[in-house]
Every structure is written in structure tokens, then in C-alpha cells.
Structure 1
Amino acid sequence: MRSTVDRIRQAVSFELIGILIVTPLFAWVFKHPMEDMSVLIVLGATAATTWNYVFNLVFDHILNWRRGNTRKTLPLRIVHAVLFEVTLIVFLLPIFAWWLDASLLTVLMMELSFAIFYMIYAFVFTWGYDTLFPPQQREEMA
């Protein structure tokens, strides 16, 4: 089990390293100035973090109201993940299109690329983090 300090270090390093990788990469791939992409990346990371908290709170309240508990089955977890991503994209799409002065279709492709990048990045980062900072195992109680 990880300590609170370790969880904070993991979350902060995940975001900072992600921003440092994705900003120049996406500025180059999508041919936009680094400054424009920096603003969008930080805005996107902040929005995703904030929306994650709000979305999960609302989702759990709805589950509790409809089912009397917040347990999630595998299909419900899939619906949860898809709904989170779709609502985040819908929220950010017009903002990104306006900021970049680009079409909604272009920005949609960009956002889907972000989602794919971060899915792969999360896998690689977590694997690397767990290798560098292995979680402490609880000693079994005698």
C-alpha cells in the first residue's frame, strides 16, 4: 500500500512528466506554437483532474440513489470510463477549437490522440514508477 506522500509524488510526477512530453510532441505533430499547446495541455490536465472529482462524485451519488450502493460491475466500469472521456471531450472541444482557431473535427482528432497517448503513457509511467518506487507490502498479521 502506498503512503499519502508517495501517492502525491506519483500524481505530481505523472502530470509534470506527461506535460513535458506531450507539449512539444503535440506542438510538432499538430503544427501549433509551443505556447498555444502549453496553455491547452495545462488547461486540459487541470480540467481533467477537476472533472474527475466532480464526475466521480455525481456518478457515485446516482449509483447510490438508483441502486443503494456504489459498487461497479465490469460493464458499469466501462460505461463510467467512456462517459468520463466523452463528457471531458465535449467540454474541452469548443474551448480547444476556439483557442487554436481550428475546426471541431481537427480538434476532435487532436483530443482522441491525447486520450490514446495518455492511455499508453499511464501504462508505461505506472510500470516505471512501480519499478523505481515499489509499493510497500503489508506484513501479514500472525
Structure 2
Amino acid sequence: MRTLPDRIRHAISFEVIGLLLVTPLGALAFHMPLDDIGVVTVVSATIATGWNFFYNVGFDMALKRLTGSTQKSWWARVWHAVLFEAGLLIVLVPFIAWYLQASLWQALVMDVSFSVFYVVYAYAFNLAYDWLFPLPEWAAEAEERAG
């Protein structure tokens, strides 16, 4: 399982890279000022960072209990990303509506758009992160399976 420093590096790098991508894309897509979208994305990222840490710990614990390993299959990665974004949706829609003085429907459309981006981004980011920072136990598990 990942260490605390590794989980912190994961959460922070995920959010920083995501912000650098989603803020200008959101401003362009929704025809809103960069600073308004910037506030929404920074607040959202701050909330998401905390959620990311606790969610990943819980997901890995559940995965280890169910499969005996924290190594994620393709389907586990898909569920990991989708469930993460669903949890954020519940919290962020009311905030977006309030801050941008938009209807809940408009906020939902915006947040779903951001979520679709982040589902794809989360899948790609986590795949790259696991490739860059593999756990030693995965090599031993692969040797065991090859056996």
C-alpha cells in the first residue's frame, strides 16, 4: 500500500496539473472570465484534494480486502475515477451555483462537464502515476503470477 508521503505527492500533483489544464479550458468552454472560473476551480480543487486523499485510502483498503492487492485492473481504474467524481458532484454543484450566481441546472451542467474531463484525466493521471511510482509489491506479485 502507498505511504503517507506518496499519497500526499499523488494528491497535490493531481490537483496542480488538473488546475493548469481545466481552468483555461473551462473559461473558454463556458465563456466566463478566467478569474471566475479560476476561483471555482481552485475551491473545487481544494475540496477535491482532501477528498482525493481519504477516497484513495478507502478505495485501496477495499480493493486489498476484495482482491488481496492494491494493483488496479482496467475496470478498477474506471470505477475508481467514476466514484471519485460522483462524490465531488454532490458537494460542488451547490457551491458553483452560489459563487457564479447560476441556477442549479447550470451549475450541474458545468460540474458534469468538469467531471467528464476529470474522469478521463484521473484515469490517465493514475495510470501514469503508477507507472512512474510503482509499488515494490507489484513486481513480486507479477513474478508470482508468472511463476
Query: Do 1:26 and 1:37's aligned partners in 2 also have CA atoms closer than 8 Å?
Result: yes
Secondary structure class of the residue paired with 1:137: helix
Query: Do 1:93 and 1:107's aligned partners in 2 also have CA atoms closer than 8 Å?
Result: yes
How far does the alpha carbon of each residue in 1:55-94 deviate from its partner, in whole angstroms, 9 at most, with x for none? Answer: 9xxxxxxxxxxxxxxx89xxxxx8xx76x836x4344323
Aligned residue in 2 for 1:85: 86
Q: Which has the higher helix share?
A: 2
1:45 aligns with 2:45: yes
Q: Distance in 2 between matches of 1:131 and 1:53?
A: 19
CA drift of 1:41 comes to 0.9
Give the TM-score normalised by structure 1.
0.65
Secondary structure class of the residue paired with 2:137: coil
Give the TM-score normalised by structure 2.
0.63
Using a 3 Å threshold, how does the CA distance of structure 1 residues 114 and 127 change in structure 2: closer, same or farther? same
Q: Which has the higher contact order (CA 8 A, sep 6+)?
A: 1
How do residues 1-142 of structure 1 correspond to structure 2 at under 5 angstroms?
A: 1-50=1-50, 85=86, 88-137=88-137
Query: Do 1:40 and 1:96's aligned partners in 2 also have CA atoms closer than 8 Å?
Result: yes
Unaligned runs of 5+ in 2: 56-64, 67-78, 141-147
CA drift of 1:54 comes to 8.6
CA drift of 1:100 comes to 1.6
Q: How many residues align?
A: 119
Percentage of pairs with the same residue: 46
Q: Distance in 2 between matches of 1:54 and 1:22?
A: 23
Larger Rg: 1
Unaligned runs of 5+ in 1: 56-70, 73-77
Aligned residue in 2 for 1:58: none
